[in-house]
Chains A and B, each alone.
Chain A
Amino acid sequence: MESTGIVVAFYVLSALTVLSALSVFLMRNLVHAIVFLVMSFIGMAGLFVTLSADFIAVAQILIYAGAISVLLVFAVMLTPLASRNNGNSLYAGPGVLLGAAIAAIVVFTAVDVEWNELTGAALEERAFIDTIGTIGDQLLGQHILAFEVASVLLLFALLGAIVLVTDPGAVDEEDEAAEDAAGVTAEDAV
């Protein structure tokens, strides 16, 4: 991690990620905040690439920058009469203080602790060449139970989302309308 390219890439991508995340907080329009959130996700995917996590970086762009941001935009679109304002709530002060405190604690710990980390040649030797094959082996080998549970979790999240947003009254009315239409056509046939 000493070559100039990696150092420059790290600082540029870190600045992109952190400044975009700050902009999510500062933007006054909710849709602008979502755009900056996507930029932050993309910067984070770049950081993953510098950690030679190629598969995770691509999955990050697909799932976070692609799917979840579209989901957020849909949530904004489906609540048309609600405010587009990205304003702070009545209790913003303590929240910002707590966030700053957590960031300060983590940064201090990261800098202060003597990590058992690889450096120099040992680190270069560690560079992952093929992460996808190993991740696949682990998912379907050592972590097979967690993998199956995750699939059940996704199924139930899908069902739960559908059940939550289905309006029971609307379904009944549709059924009645369909029955009426069917009855009318049957009578016409008679």
Chain B
Amino acid sequence: MTITLAHYLAVSGIVFGIGVAIALSKRNVVAVLMGVELMLNASNLAFLAFSRFSGAFQPGTEPLAGHTFVVFVLTVAAAEAAVALAMAVLIYRRRETVDLDRISVLRW
């Protein structure tokens, strides 16, 4: 029994699907953000799996471009979480709710 690239990509796809389901079907703003974080995490796993397994690189060269890209994904995820949570707090101050079913107007 051996672990191949397909195993890692399958885990990545399942976690990404769960993230999509959470982001699209939760009522609370914070829960939606948790789904987005799961999706970013699943993409990181796919990057690292390709970086480890891909045969497209010459032997001897270290194919760590995937790792570098993951560093940027981490950066963007942190920035996105900070801004999105600030917006959640702002919406709560104006409306006393973070329920997305009740925040249904674009202008108030």
What residues of chain A have their CB less than 8 Å away from a CB belonging to chain B?
Answer: 1-2, 6-7, 10, 14, 17-18, 21-22, 24-25, 30, 33-34, 37, 40-41, 44, 47-48, 50-53, 55-56, 59-60, 63-64, 67-68, 71-72, 74-76, 78-79, 81-83, 85-96, 98-107, 109-111, 115-119, 122-123, 125-126, 128, 131, 134-135, 138-139, 143, 146, 150, 153-154, 156-158, 160-162, 164-165, 167
Q: Per-residue 0/1 for B13-45: is the Cβ within 8 Å of any A Cβ (1 yes, 0 no)?
A: 111111111111111111101110110010011
**Distance in angstroms between the alpha carbons of A81 and B66 in the assembled complex:** 43
**Distance in angstroms between the alpha carbons of A59 and B1 in the assembled complex:** 30
**Given A41-B41, A83-B97, A98-B20, 12 extra CB contacts under 8 A:** A10-B7, A24-B18, A25-B18, A51-B48, A96-B25, A103-B14, A128-B52, A135-B67, A138-B68, A150-B76, A160-B86, A164-B86
Q: Which residues of A contact B67 (CB under 8 A)?
A: 53, 55-56, 131, 134-135
Q: Which residues of B contact A6 (CB under 8 A)?
A: 3
Q: A98-B20, A100-B21, A128-B64 are in contact. Are A10 and B101 (CB under 8 A)?
A: no
A76–B41 CB distance below 8 A: no
Name B26's contact: one of A47, A86, A103, A106 (CB within 8 Å). Answer: A86
Task: List 23 contacting pairs A-B, 8 Å CB cutoff, sorted by A.
Answer: A24-B18, A30-B28, A33-B31, A33-B34, A47-B8, A48-B44, A48-B45, A52-B52, A72-B30, A86-B31, A87-B28, A88-B27, A89-B27, A92-B25, A96-B24, A98-B20, A99-B18, A104-B17, A106-B12, A109-B9, A139-B68, A143-B72, A157-B78
| 4 closest cross-chain pairs (CB), A and B | A103-B17, A106-B13, A95-B24, A99-B21
Q: A14-B11, A79-B92, A88-B27 are in contact. Are A117 and B68 (CB under 8 A)?
A: no
| Closest-CB distance, B42 to chain A (whole angstroms) | 8
A83–B52 CB distance below 8 A: no
From DSSP, what is the main secondary structure of chain A's interface residues? helix
Q: Which residues of A contact B1 (CB under 8 A)?
A: 2, 7
A78–B10 CB distance below 8 A: no
Name A134's contact: one of B62, B78, B88 (CB within 8 Å). Answer: B62
A64–B41 CB distance below 8 A: yes
What residues of chain B have their CB less than 8 Å away from a CB belonging to chain A?
Answer: 1-31, 33-35, 37-38, 41, 44-45, 48-49, 51-56, 59, 62, 64-65, 67-68, 70-72, 74-83, 85-90, 92-93, 96-101
Name B93's contact: one of A85, A93, A128, A167 (CB within 8 Å). Answer: A167
A53–B52 CB distance below 8 A: yes
From DSSP, what is the main secondary structure of chain B's interface residues? helix
Nearest to B6 among chain A residues (CB) is: A110
B89–A107 CB distance below 8 A: no
Q: Which residues of A contact B26 (CB under 8 A)?
A: 86-89, 92
